[in-house]
Amino acid sequence: MTEFSYENQGTNTYLVYEIKESEQIDSLTLGMIVNNKIPGFSNTVYTQINEKKLLKYSITSKISANEFFSGTVTKKRLLGVFKSIVKGFISAEDYMIDANSLILDTEYVYCDVSSCEAELICLPLKVLDDRETDLKGFFKNIMFSTSFDQKENCDYIAVIINYLNSNSPFSIYEFQNILESIDDNADKIQKKKPAIKSTTLNNVNEIKADKTKAKKPLESRPAVQKSPMPAYPLKNEPPVLNKSVQKPVSAVEQNTNEQEISLFYLLQHYNKDNAALYKAQKKRKKHNNIDSRSVPLNTQFAVPGINNNINIQKKPLNSSDSGIYSNISNRNSLNNDGMKNGIQQENIQHLNANFGETTVLSQAGGAVAETTVLASDKCQSPYIIRLKNSERVMINKPVFNIGKEKSYVDYFIGDNAAVSRSHAKILIRDNKFYVVDTNSTNHTYVNGKQINSNIEVEISNGDKLSFANEDFEFRLF
């Protein structure tokens, strides 16, 4: 694997590659990338110190595509990076650069978090083998390893995957047209929205105007009044409507002693009279049931086979009762069948049971066991405290980005122009904490000492962090 290092020079951050003695430089490609600003390519500087030959690529204020595609990815991010990579490969043909010299690795594709554009790294070396760049597989790996924003319309994902999964040969120009058409469709949808609103308002106004026009000739017509009574006499008979209303009532009164109508019979022989009789019978049954349940508990019941002169008395509960809640004064009186009168009292006592309070279940010995509280280690949460205004910011993600690009970072610093769009990130791993400078312009400092870009530096409670000239304190609470 190609080995790179990082270097900070003033406000610039470079990705550095040292050319080995065994590697041959492609002079044409080197001249093209050093002397031209090629679309989709990172700016390249070639230096030679004694026997060292170095290629330096400017990556200031940019992050790798690995970081850029971490978390939830929006349509703007994906299309921005894909279109930039396609543009880079088309530019390679225009500048007579071998496409195999472009590094297709998301770790070395650098993205601008604001514009969502990407830049490729070109190694101007002569390739001895005949390997071919698998651009189609590169795009497929990104599509299948990325988590997309479900709040958006994700139809564009299916369009891209369908093309990449097709058996037809991959064409860089055809793929570019697909990406452009996705962007064009989104723009057309946004432009159509206000036009649709205006046309609908105009149509509503036109419909209202047409309705008012249609109503005018109707207003001039004389109103026709319907006579409430028929034109012919009825020989002093009551109106027909009154007869139909009185029929169900009279039928109910006259047929109270008739045979009971079941629901099944009503469904087979349904008419108004039968429906009224069924409702009346149902109402009488309900009334009779209420009357039968309204007997007071302290009254005497006439039960067949039991002496009606039994006096029912209540007795307070004591320990000697062993679950018997009441006693009947005449225990020796038996009915003709030999049944004891205690059965009658047992049924009555269940009706008088009181369920108002909760019963406390006791353990052996009468002592109620207390709840045992399990002791646990106190977990501390990491924070950064902004010293300028004492703002406390909780580090609530394993990868916590800091900068002034609101759409990308987790903590937004919008009132300091010295802070980069993606300035730094704090990592949480194995209960340890690290700060990483993400190629910022004005660098990151730990306890006053500048740290190198893309290098994890462990931090602990009380350390002072500086993002450009913005000071913070790292604390655990």
How do the domains of the chain map onto residue ranges?
5-185, 250-290, 382-476
Model confidence at 210, pLDDT cuts 50, 70, 90, reads low
Higher-pLDDT residue of 16 and 71 is: 16
User: What's the confidence (pLDDT) of residue 465?
Assistant: 97
User: What's the confidence (pLDDT) of residue 242?
Assistant: 46
Q: Are 150 and 117 in contact (CB under 8 A)?
A: no
Which pLDDT tens digit goes with each residue over 273-288?
Answer: 877 887 888 888 777 7
Which pLDDT tens digit goes with each residue over 159-196?
Answer: 999 999 999 999 999 999 999 999 876 655 555 555 44
Average pLDDT over residues 62-73: 94
Average pLDDT over residues 336-362: 44
Average pLDDT over residues 125-149: 86
User: What's the confidence (pLDDT) of residue 187?
Assistant: 57
Model confidence at 378, pLDDT cuts 50, 70, 90, reads low
Question: Residues for the chain: how many in total?
Answer: 477
Three-state DSSP string of the chain: CCCCEEEEECCEEEEEEECCCCCCECHHHHHHHHHCCCCCECCEEEEEECCEEEEEEECCCCEEHHHHCCCEECHHHHHHHHHHHHHHHHHHHHCCCCHHHECCCHHHCEECCCCCCEEECECCECCCCCCCCCHHHHHHHHHHCCEECCCCCCHHHHHHHHHHHCCCCCCHHHHHHHHHHHHHHHHHHHHHHHHHHHHHHHHHHHHHHHHHHHHHHHHCCCCCCCCCCCCCCCCCCCCHHHHHHHHHHHHHHHCCCCCCCCHHHHHHCCCHHHHHHHHHHHHHHHHHHHHHHCCCCCCCCCCCCCCCCCCEEECCCCHHHCCCCEEECCCCCECCCCCECHHHHHHHHHHCCCCCCCCCCCCHHHCCCCCCCCCCCCCCCEEEEECCCCEEEECCCCEEEEECCCCCCCEECCCCCCCCCCCEEEEEECCEEEEEECCCCCCEEECCEECCECCCEEECCCCEEEECCEEEEEEEC
User: What's the confidence (pLDDT) of residue 81?
Assistant: 97
Is the model's pLDDT at 144 over the cut of 60?
yes
Calculate the average pLDDT of the chain: 77
Q: Domain spanning 5-185 has what CATH number?
A: 1.10.510.10
Q: Are 152 and 182 in contact (CB under 8 A)?
A: no
pTM of this structure: 0.60
Higher-pLDDT residue of 307 and 54 is: 54
User: Taking Cα atoms as reference points, which of 466, 477, 475 lies closest to residue 402?
Assistant: 466
Q: Domain spanning 382-476 has what CATH number?
A: 2.60.200.20
User: What's the confidence (pLDDT) of residue 420?
Assistant: 95
